Amino acid sequence: MNYRHSFHAGNSADVVKHSLLITLVRALQQKPGALTLIDTHSGCGLYDLGGEQAQRTGEAAQGVLCAFSDANPLLDDYRAAVRAVNDGAEPRLYPGSPRFLAQLLRPQDVLILNEKHPEDVQALRAAMRDTPAAVHQRDAYELWLAMVPPRTPRGVVVVDPPYEQTDERERVTATLAAAHRKWAHGVTVIWYPLKGRATHQQWKGRLRKLGIPKFLSVEHWLYDGDQPGIYNGAGLFIVNPPYAFTQALPSLLEALRAALAPDGHRGALTADWLGG
């Protein structure tokens, strides 16, 4: 599967991912110690929902536009972050993870971004020019390992590949194992698309064998059964989620599920522990 950010900006997966990222980082910020936020596959940083690529899929209509039509106050922080890149107006531009993370920075926090694609990294640098982010152009998995443990006492690594390489899941698995050996208490968030339940369960089985104790899986299946050949949803693996985040998660997931349920399909938005 090739999942380029620009084609899918503002879709249901983005709404879930970015709502959870906001909640996760703010849970960690309940303590005053500095955080390093690392995004290994940053993309362009900012996307035009009226542009050709976003319009080709039209996925924002079932994502950010649904969230903006919903009244649940649990989504207020997400909507405010989107409005912040639109001068307070309804969404015309959509912030990628780098812009969401930049909005969450406190003076003591550090933001490190990475994008290997030559055109995308130029767009990323332009999109982040008014922020203190450091932007790298390196292999994502090499950077992931090189940056952990961070210099600050705590940190979060966000891994959001396009899954265009056939070995992407194997590289995620191997790098996670190596990174966890270096930084066992670190928080890691891994995004992934969902196509078929059987294949996905095999990957979860391989990840479970890593023996990582606090390993949460959040999955948003758009349909009650697999729809062959199409995008069926997305999920997040979260290593070492903080307690305040896990306490807030059930209510947030229910709010997201209600806002994003496709017409005629209830789907499921669930969280379960892979490790112990």
Backbone angles phi, psi at 14, to 5 degrees: -65, -40
Helix axes 243-260, 12-28, angle to 10 degrees: 160
Other CB atoms within 10 Å distance of the CB of residue 243: 9
Backbone angles phi, psi at 222, to 5 degrees: -75, -25
b/e per residue 106-141 (b: at least 16 CB within 10 A): eeebbbbbbbbbeebbebbbebbeebebebbbeebb
Peptide bond into 153 cis (omega under 30): no
Catalytic residue among 139, 160, 263, 272: 160
160 a catalytic residue: yes
Closest CA to 262 of 78, 59, 82: 59
Other CB atoms within 10 Å distance of the CB of residue 198: 8
Q: How far apart are CA 241 and CA 235, in angstroms?
A: 15
How many helices (H) and strands (E) the chain has is answered by: 11, 10
Residues with catalytic annotation? 160
